[in-house]
Structure 1
Amino acid sequence: MGINEKQLKILQVTERLFSEHGFDGTSVRTIAKQAQVNIAMISYYFGSKEKLLESLLYYRSQGFKAQLKEVLAKDISYLQKIDEMVAVMIERVHKNRRIYKILHFESTTNTRRSIINDHLIRKKETYKIIESFINDGQKVGVFSKDVNIKLISSTILGTYFNFYYNHNYFKIIHGWDPDTSIDHFVKNELTQHIQITIKALLTYEN
């Protein structure tokens, strides 16, 4: 999806407003005003607000499959690939966390089900790559055959979102160093914790 500077600005503003106010709580007029374009330009590039949501989801989902394939094609061990795969997933979800908030809200309604379903089909293709990789690791004896593969991605993303949406409580309970930013913690501590957790799950034998 090749986009120009104006389209990118519109998508970025749309993402922020949809994540803050929801799809129904955001008007095209507000998007146009904050993106500093006119409504006609949004209509020209995207057609409707529904098409704008569709374009945003497609734009944010681009490249993930290629990133995973690149990591899993490297000449490194299975466990090293797990480390890199987790790092890629956490970096991407942290960078694109607004889109996940939009998806979570939209998934609770049936109003724009076809748009969400199209996005989920693309995600399913990506997660099939992860499942296939773990299956291969099981066949060669690196990963346990007792692993529930379908829950691996949920464990990775669930751990991230539990931390992110509760990080203020985390700061208070665990005495977080005030000089440590969320970005730094996610990259240097949370990612490592999830890497260790996933490797432990994949290699655990009953």
Structure 2
Amino acid sequence: MLNSDMIKDKDRTFSEKQIHLIKTSEKLFAEVGYAETSLRIIAKESRMNSAMVSYYFGSKEKLMQAILEYRTINMAKVFNAYDELAEDPLNTILFLLDLYVDKIFEQKYFYRLLFQLQSTLKDESVMEHFNNMRLRNFKVLINVFQHGAEKGEFKSDIDTTFLLSTIYGSLNAMIFNKDYYRKVNGFDTLSDEDYVKLFKKRAKAHIRDIVLAIIKK
């Protein structure tokens, strides 16, 4: 069973120390920048020596790949299960949308890092790994949309690329401009916990409305 101490995949197992380094690096990459964050800085923030970081991951590029793997293991299993078992395309899409909203609120540093990867990172090995991850998710959604079209529930000409861009753009704007949205919506007095709970609910409803308006016949 998956737990917070050790995440297992058929290809990779992460120890507690590796997970600690992954989470520390993820936060530093997101806040400081991938290019600006060295293994020495990661080691210092993790309270480990640089040799241990190199021992576990070999290089900053391999560490970045490990972050992608760690954060997408559970999601990959969910996508694979729905790719094989989804007999209800509409509820499958709604489930995946809610899951994605939960993830982007819970893993803000990871999704901020993903945004950086798309706009600034030039390392070919990391970008290949990142693009393979996105392609896997894209293919799953294509299959669900095609299945829905065959059942007469979805349109047959859904532009998945633009639909995903709409979802990503909307949620990124909500997450990265939290202070602005708090102010304009009059949520200044809410605690962070109450704000996230309320805004997550509103985000799920909004994203559902957008997607259903685009895909349903």
Matching residue within 152, 174, 177 for 2:185: 174
- CA–CA distance in structure 1, aligned partners of residues 142 and 208 of structure 2: 16
Q: Which residue of 2 aligns with 1:144?
A: 155
- CA–CA distance in structure 2, aligned partners of residues 109 and 74 of structure 1: 36
Three-state SS of the structure 2 residue aligned to 1:179 is coil
- CA–CA distance in structure 2, aligned partners of residues 146 and 194 of structure 1: 20
- CA–CA distance in structure 2, aligned partners of residues 177 and 192 of structure 1: 22
Could you list the per-position Cα deviations for residues 99-140 of structure 1 after superposition, in whole angstroms to 9, with x for gaps in the alignment? 232233233346312211222112201210011110111111
Change (3 A) 1:147 1:108: closer
Q: Is the 8 A contact 2:24 2:46 kept in 1?
A: yes
Q: Which residue of 1 aligns with 2:196?
A: 183
Matching residue within 150, 175, 187 for 1:164: 175
Q: CA deviation at 1:27?
A: 2.1
How many residues align? The count is: 203
- CA–CA distance in structure 2, aligned partners of residues 182 and 121 of structure 1: 34
1:198 aligns with 2:205: no
Three-state SS of the structure 1 residue aligned to 2:14 is coil
Change (3 A) 1:186 1:64: farther
Whichever residue aligns with residue 27 of structure 1, its letter is S
- CA–CA distance in structure 2, aligned partners of residues 81 and 140 of structure 1: 14
Could you list the per-position Cα deviations for residues 5-63 of structure 1 after superposition, in whole angstroms to 9, with x for gaps in the alignment? 11111111111111111122212222112211111111111112222112212222222
- CA–CA distance in structure 2, aligned partners of residues 162 and 24 of structure 1: 23
Percent of pairs with identical residues: 26
TM-score in terms of structure 1 length: 0.87
Q: Is the 8 A contact 1:71 1:84 kept in 2?
A: no
Change (3 A) 1:33 1:177: closer
1:132 aligns with 2:143: yes
TM-score in terms of structure 2 length: 0.83
Could you list the per-position Cα deviations for residues 128-156 of structure 1 after superposition, in whole angstroms to 9, with x for gaps in the alignment? 00111101111111012243222222222
* Residue segments in structure 2 that go unaligned for 5+ positions in a row: 1-11
1:17 aligns with 2:6: no
Q: Is the 8 A contact 2:93 2:144 kept in 1?
A: no
- Alignment RMSD (CA, Å): 2.1
- CA–CA distance in structure 2, aligned partners of residues 146 and 78 of structure 1: 16
Q: Is the 8 A contact 1:15 1:99 kept in 2?
A: yes
| Aligned residue runs from structure 1 range 28-177, under 5 A | 28-71=39-82, 73=85, 77-109=88-120, 111-176=122-187
Three-state SS of the structure 1 residue aligned to 2:119 is coil
Whichever residue aligns with residue 185 of structure 1, its letter is L
Large movers: runs of 4+ above 6 Å: none
- CA–CA distance in structure 2, aligned partners of residues 112 and 100 of structure 1: 18
Q: Is the 8 A contact 1:19 1:99 kept in 2?
A: yes
- CA–CA distance in structure 2, aligned partners of residues 74 and 134 of structure 1: 11
